[in-house]
Amino acid sequence: MTPKRHNHASRQTPSDNDTVLDAVRDCVLAVGVRRTTMTDVARRAGLSRMTLYRRWPDVRSLVGDLMTREWIAVATGAVPGPGQDTDTRSRMVEGLVAGVEAFRAHPLFRKIVDVDPELLLPYVLDRRGASQEALLELLADVLEEGHADGSVRRAHTGRQARAVLLVVQSFALSLRTMTDEDDAELTPAALLAELRTILERTLTP
């Protein structure tokens, strides 16, 4: 749910970028996106403003690259490794449910939702961002593995990946609007269990 990466940023080394993105993260967690300035980021990163502007045109582009880094790390970290007793579909479903839970608990996501929720709207209503494109690639790779071992229903891989991401994204972004802590059947855990069922049923051959 982020803008496409900028070419000027991609030419930097990963360590250079991470230093800047770590500084952006610290600023956003402290004061939110709207109150973060390029001056603040440059100071935290130990760079001049001009150096920063040569790589990124504004704070939003910085935050976009930060979100891409953080969301992809959540997604890849949530997927269980191959196991003798689990097929691709089972690992995929567990990884997606765990990913939704981790995404909702992520400090950056929580800060943006609480302080700058309008940043997410374009990627829900209007267009795909870089993190969504990267997630679609990850999903497509796993779906193809599932097609190959017979554990995932065969379908057009790109369409199937997009449908799965639509489902998972809605749970990640909107789950708290549908929970009721006073009802044991409508807690976050109960709804995540429902997500697991939805994914199992849509992916089972």
Confidence category of residue 16, pLDDT binned at 50, 70, 90: confident
Task: With a cut of 90, say whether residue 2 has pLDDT above it.
Answer: no
Among 14-18, 117-121, 146-150, name the one with the lowest average pLDDT. 14-18
Residue 201 · residue 89 · CB < 8 Å: no
Residue 130 · residue 2 · CB < 8 Å: yes
Is pTM, for the whole model, over 0.95? no
Q: For the domain that residue 147 is a member of, what is the CATH number?
A: 1.10.357.10
Confidence category of residue 11, pLDDT binned at 50, 70, 90: very low
How many domains does one find in the chain? 1
When the pLDDT of each residue in the chain is averaged and rounded to a whole number, the result is 91
The pLDDT of residue 86 is 83
User: 122 lies in which domain range?
Assistant: 7-203
The pLDDT of residue 165 is 98
Does any domain span residue 150?
yes
Does any domain span residue 37?
yes
DSSP codes joined into one string, 108-130 = HHHHHHHH-GGGTHHHHHT---H
Q: Could you tell me the CA-to-CA distances from 182 to 9, 100, 176 in Å, in that order? A: 47, 22, 13
Confidence category of residue 10, pLDDT binned at 50, 70, 90: very low
- Cβ neighbors of 179 (< 8 A, separation 6 or more) are 186, 187, 188, 191
The pLDDT of residue 149 is 95
Q: Is 26 exposed, middle or buried (0-12, 13-18, 19+ CB in 10 A)?
A: middle
Does any domain span residue 122?
yes
* Per-residue model confidence as pLDDT tens digits over 177-196: 999 989 999 999 999 999 99
Cα dihedral: 67, 69, 75, 77 (round 10): -130
Does any domain span residue 44?
yes
Does any domain span residue 1?
no
Query: CA-CA distance, 191 to 82, in Å (whole number)?
Result: 26
The pLDDT of residue 181 is 87
Task: With a cut of 60, say whether residue 115 has pLDDT above it.
Answer: yes
Does any domain span residue 84?
yes
The pLDDT of residue 111 is 95
- Cβ neighbors of 114 (< 8 A, separation 6 or more) are none
Minimal CA–CA distance to 2: which of 72, 74, 64, 56? 64
Tokens 């976050």 — which residue? Answer: 188
Does any domain span residue 98?
yes
Residue 28 · residue 66 · CB < 8 Å: yes
* Per-residue model confidence as pLDDT tens digits over 40-86: 999 999 999 999 999 999 999 999 999 999 999 999 998 877 766 68
Query: CA-CA distance, 40 to 145, in Å (whole number)?
Result: 44
Does any domain span residue 73?
yes
**How many degrees, rounded to 5, is the angle at CA 104 between CA 103 and CA 110?**
110
Residue 74 CA, chain-centre distance (Å), reads 7
The pLDDT of residue 1 is 60
The pLDDT of residue 79 is 81
- What is the average pLDDT across 79-103? 88
